[in-house]
Amino acid sequence: QVQIVESGGGLVQPGGSLRLSCTASGFNLDYYAIGWFRQAPGKERVAVSCISSNDQSDGTASYADSVKGRFTIVRDDAMGTVYLQMNSLNPEDTGVYHCATGWAYACRDQAYDFWGRGTQVTVSS
């Protein structure tokens, strides 16, 4: 059974940083495209970032325009972990951040069959 778990969320002041982690059981994240999504109350779920597999694809990363230059998605294949480094945070970044994956190697093909329950990020002064 595939289980996705996120961690690293919390309360931070504007301009601060957080590093979110995504791990999985029953699934090897190294082989598949991994996405991060943000869900805020009353708003659409937004695709924040995605990274393709290094082993089966080109390992490239993509970002929503709103986070380019501030967020970085990184793989640690040895640890089977994907991180989202979030810098220069602002209140609009607030929400529950979900990690998701599926059977596709590249982000463009990913159907996101498996989702974590999310970790709360709150940016407030």
DSSP 67: G
pLDDT in tens, 85-112: 999 999 999 999 999 999 999 999 999 9
CB neighbour list of residue 93: distance below 8 Å, 6 or more residues apart? 38, 67, 86, 121, 123
pLDDT in tens, 17-38: 999 999 999 889 999 999 999 9
